[in-house]
């Protein structure tokens, strides 16, 4: 199977001498008409086809004619046998998940510290323990973190919440006293 990109001018018909029995229209911005040719004669026609269209003419083809009402570049795949493509063109927009992020750094010791205030609208949380040796403890329900209470985040490790979010204050502490305070990077939104 091979893929070919073709530019078609508005109202123009272009010919491609391609041999195969499988055709797939991978990319278009507007509908195109396709004539499947064999030995100079039209074997079948597909009108107003858009991306995703595929065909397996029973007698195959040795040429293709493309006509478009608008100027565009199309991409096709041609080959023998069956084929497939799980690719979509265009752009994807996620609705309802955008928003401002807060990013910061907090120096931690073996004393509890609130690193993010309670936020009922929080949709995402990422914490990273930047200490090279100390384990960080994190609580998500507003209760103070202790050396024995909270999620353990190993040195260099992360804690990420991307689904259901905690709405209480996020507290953190280092499990042991350190000569220099360890730090925690965070992003929330």
Mean pLDDT of 127-143: 89
**Confidence check: pLDDT of 181 > 60:** no
Judge if 2-79 and 102-188 fold alike in CATH terms: yes
Q: How far apart are CA 170 and CA 44, in angstroms?
A: 66
**Confidence check: pLDDT of 15 > 70:** yes
Percentage of the chain beyond pLDDT 70 is 87
116 pLDDT band, cuts 50/70/90, is confident
36 pLDDT band, cuts 50/70/90, is very high
Contacts of 42 (CB under 8 A, 6+ apart): 35, 36, 65
Strand partners, 118: none
**Confidence check: pLDDT of 66 > 80:** yes
The CATH T-level fold of domain 2-79 is: Jelly Rolls (2.60.120)
- Choose from 5-14, 75-84, 103-112, 129-138 the range with maximum mean pLDDT: 5-14
- Residue ranges per structural domain of the chain: 2-79, 102-188
What does the pLDDT read at residue 1?
83
Q: Which CATH class is domain 102-188?
A: mainly beta
What does the pLDDT read at residue 106?
87
Percentage of the chain beyond pLDDT 90 is 48
**Confidence check: pLDDT of 109 > 80:** yes
Q: What are phi and psi of 100, to 5 degrees?
A: -75, 140
The CA-CA-CA angle for residues 12, 85, 58, to 5°, reads: 70
Residue with tokens 């040719």: 37
30 pLDDT band, cuts 50/70/90, is very high
**Confidence check: pLDDT of 108 > 80:** yes
């Amino acid at each position: 199977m091979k893929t070919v990109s073709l530019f078609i001018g508005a109202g123009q018909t272009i010919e491609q001498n391609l041999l195969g029995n499988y055709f797939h229209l991978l990319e278009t911005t507007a509908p195109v008409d396709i004539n499947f040719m064999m030995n100079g004669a039209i074997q079948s026609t597909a009108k107003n086809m858009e991306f995703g269209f595929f065909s397996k003419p029973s007698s195959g083809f040795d040429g293709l004619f493309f006509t478009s009402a608008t100027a565009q570049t199309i991409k096709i795949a041609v080959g023998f046998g069956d084929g497939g493509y799980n690719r979509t063109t265009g752009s994807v927009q996620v609705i309802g998940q955008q928003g401002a992020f807060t990013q910061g750094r907090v120096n931690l010791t073996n004393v509890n510290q609130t690193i993010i205030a309670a936020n009922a609208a929080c949709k995402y949380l990422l914490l990273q323990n930047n200490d090279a040796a100390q384990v960080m403890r994190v609580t998500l329900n507003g209760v103070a973190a202790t050396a024995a209470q909270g999620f353990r985040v190993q040195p260099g490790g992360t804690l990420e919440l991307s689904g259901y979010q905690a709405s209480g204050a996020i507290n953190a502490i280092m499990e042991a006293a350190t000569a220099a305070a360890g730090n925690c990077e965070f992003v929330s939104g």
